[in-house]
Amino acid sequence: MAQLINGKEIAARLRGEIAAETAVLKEKGITPGLAVILVGDDPASQTYVRNKQKACQEVGFYSEQINLPATTTQEELLAVVKELNERKDIHGILCQLPLPKGLDDGAVIAAIDPKKDVDAFHAENVGHIMIGDQHFLPCTPAGVMELIHRSGITVEGRHCVVIGRSNIVGKPMAMLLLQKNGTVTICHSRTKDLAAICRQADILVAAVGRAKFVTADMVKEGATVIDVGINRDENGKLCGDVDFAAVEPIVGAITPVPGGVGPMTIAMLMKNTLTAAKTYGC
């Protein structure tokens, strides 16, 4: 039976560590502050934002939610970002994506002060990740690395295969594995013989966004499988990119969905906000 990598438990421990560090920082007169901009009324985005606020309360941060109507113009949104950039009580800013049609995600990300870009999406922060001297890491890939580390899994010298090449997960995931001396292959929709490449992986990260895409014939016995996907199956039940029931008996370690990578994403957002407060708020 595979080792079950429990993201809920690991995220809870991480939040406890962040809360302890926050208490020390507060004694110095600094309370980490996170501002979340929510444009429109997308139900999924509202749920994500509520979870972020709950996490902020748990670790002792100041949190502020800016709700804007779907009719908000690009100029109005950028003005809100500018105001938050200038506020000393706000150390982290994120704009919940996707934005309503007609608004430019890229322009908003570019407008956020890189020192407050706790999603690590700004081009300056992406560049730092490329050369390995980053202050912030993208939350989901960073969460994956934390899961791997705290589960006692070695990356160095292992063949790491990432399925997916998005700017948010796939590309930075590959960079972080490379920084830990993994040998990295990135696969995508144009990859030939995808299953054969996946079967070579000691560590397989699935971030493709397709329910149960990774099947038993795509994994090597004893491999570590990290499932980043959040999908719905044919019965409407939450599932990942990996066919868990078929893959779990074969591999050495695996993350479940839900309860795997998901909780780590918000925990790493808290860690980035704490880093921003410690680095730039003193």
119 is catalytic: yes
For the question of residue 74 being annotated catalytic, the response is: no
- Distance, in Å, from the CA atom of 194 to the CA atom of 190, rounded to the nearest integer, reads 9
- Is 52 an annotated catalytic residue? yes
Q: Which of 119, 202, 227, 243 is catalytic?
A: 119
Tokens, residue 83: 């105001």
Given 52, 116, 212, 271, the catalytic residue: 52
| Contacts of residue 218, Cβ cutoff 8 Å, sequence gap at least 6 | 194, 195, 198, 199, 204
Sheet with strand 92-95: strands edge to edge: 62-68, 33-39, 92-95
Q: How far is CA 178 from CA 131, 159, 175, in A?
A: 11, 10, 5
Choose, from 96, 116, 212, 271, the residue flagged as catalytic: 96
Strand-pairing partners, residue 4, are 254
> Annotated active-site positions, please?
52, 96, 119
